Amino acid sequence: MSTSWEPLPSIYRSKQEFLASLPPWRRLLQKLNWRPTVDLKVQRYAIEQEIKHLEIENARLAASNARLERFEREHLSGSIPHPSTGDSWSS
């Protein structure tokens, strides 16, 4: 497994000293060549997918609200109802 190291601070004389200064869990992750940016990319992708889902749901709810408003105008206003166009469910 290849590892790429950023330049070490001058207080560290070797890679081993640098690793020894890390907490045990971080040393393990470093051995596995783990990078936090991978997790950030996964989280960003999940958030983008959730936003897309919410936009679709928002559009669906807006269409439902429009149908409900039209129904209320036609049936609950107390006036003579307008003839139905037959497309009340196709939006």
Closest by Cα among 36, 21, 30 to 1: 30
At 1 the pLDDT is: 46
Residue 64 has, within 13 A of its CA and on its CB side, a CA count of 6
Higher pLDDT among residues 60 and 34, named by residue: 60
Higher pLDDT among residues 2 and 56, named by residue: 56
* Radius of gyration for the chain, computed over Cα atoms and rounded to the nearest angstrom: 30
Q: Are 52 and 58 in contact (CB under 8 A)?
A: no
CA pair distance 39, 32, nearest whole angstrom: 14
At 91 the pLDDT is: 47
Residue-wise pLDDT for 27-41, tens only, equals 887 778 766 676 778
pTM to 2 decimals? 0.43
The alpha carbon of residue 76 and the mean position of all alpha carbons in its chain are separated, in whole angstroms, by 40
Confidence of residue 62 (pLDDT cuts 50, 70, 90): very high
